[in-house]
Structure 1
Amino acid sequence: MGALIWLVAALALAGAEALTGDLFLLMLSGGALSAAGASAVFGGPVWVDGVVFAAVSILLLVAVRPALRRRFAAGTGLPEPMKALEGKGALVLDRVGRHEGQVKLDGQVWTARPLNDDEVYEPGDHVTVVRIDGATAVVFRGI
């Protein structure tokens, strides 16, 4: 019976983790899952399950969680090739306005929009890329 309670606790903690995304509750869920395994295999008293839960949870919080957080944080931001396009010049191919436009940037055709919504650039104009917003180059008239 104790193993079932620990298993339900592990599932509840894992489900709650989906709402927070902090990886704290997931580590506690791992501890509860270990306690469920210990209870099922050894069938000892409840306090032994509690010790297993505490020990595994602390171990996961100290050893695994920081490594996972670093790994997830390392993937933020634009990929390096996209950052390299910022500040480059581009040639307007189709009229660039608030909701339309294309530029030739680094030999490729990109969807573009102006930095200021009220500006319009005509074909043949030279512009500078301010940033990449998804698959759209945000541009302004270069000096």
Structure 2
Amino acid sequence: MAELANCPNCGKVFAKALRPTCDACAQQVEEKFERVYKFIRKRENRQATMDEVTEATDVEKALVYQFIREGRLQLAQFPNLGYPCEKCGVQIRQNRLCSTCTDEINKGIRTKDRQKAFEQRMKNRENPRAGIYTTLDDRVRRNR
């Protein structure tokens, strides 16, 4: 059963089933998508930048970014469009982070892993008997 919620855009109460907004706001978003798509679909506008698209269609950049992230606009056909990296804000065309931020995060993970391995080696060195294995024969020989 659908849950009742307030629309985050207009505040009206609606049955939240498939969309996070009411029908009227969802229709407005669809109309804005059609404006953007019709604009960039034209051959002369395929090289348009994000600023040119938002200026010509009167659609907010955040909404165009949302269309790209949802996969409704395929960037392979529009070489000058992109969206900001979620960490540093540089324009990217795929994933959520740019390669610089991804490398930085991976470097931090590798450093943390090396630190854990070093701490484990130090812990093993503190206990000198930890790496020594004896057998029953060794114990018998010592007792004689």
**TM-score, reference length from structure 2:** 0.27
Bigger relative contact order, structure 1 or 2, given CA contacts below 8 A and separation 6+? 1
Structure possessing the higher radius of gyration over alpha carbons: 2
Higher helix share: 2
**TM-score, reference length from structure 1:** 0.27
Higher strand share: 1
